[in-house]
Amino acid sequence: MGKNRRSVIQIVSLTTLLFFLMVMTMPTGALAAGTFNDTAGHWAEDQIETAVEKGYASGYPDGSFKPDQNITRA
């Protein structure tokens, strides 16, 4: 019984650590759609919002999205 309890505690601890790391490595730019300072009135504003909501794209740390710049794979 003690060995099983130890295994459960290790699994819970590992899961908690992984969740914490995942949250801490999230992008720090504009996290919510509609918070970019340069997309209002842009022809692709709705598509940018959808892409950010689905996690396909994110903004820059300064709160901008830079919708007219080229896209890179990096």
pTM above 0.75, yes or no: no
pLDDT value of residue 19: 82
Q: Count up the domains in the chain and report the number.
A: 1
Rounded to whole angstroms, what are the CA distances from 63 to 9, 10, 32, 56? 40, 39, 10, 17
Q: What pLDDT shows up at residue 33?
A: 46
Quick: pLDDT tens for 5-48: 888 888 888 888 888 777 777 665 444 545 789 999 999 999 99
Report yes or no on 73 lying in a domain.
Answer: no
* pLDDT classification of 64: cutoffs 50, 70, 90: very high
Q: In terms of residue numbers, what domain contains 46?
A: 2-53
Q: How far apart are CA 36 and CA 28, in angstroms?
A: 12
Question: What was the pLDDT predicted at 35?
Answer: 73
Q: Is residue 20 assigned to a domain?
A: yes
Instruction: Establish if 59 belongs to a structural domain.
Output: no
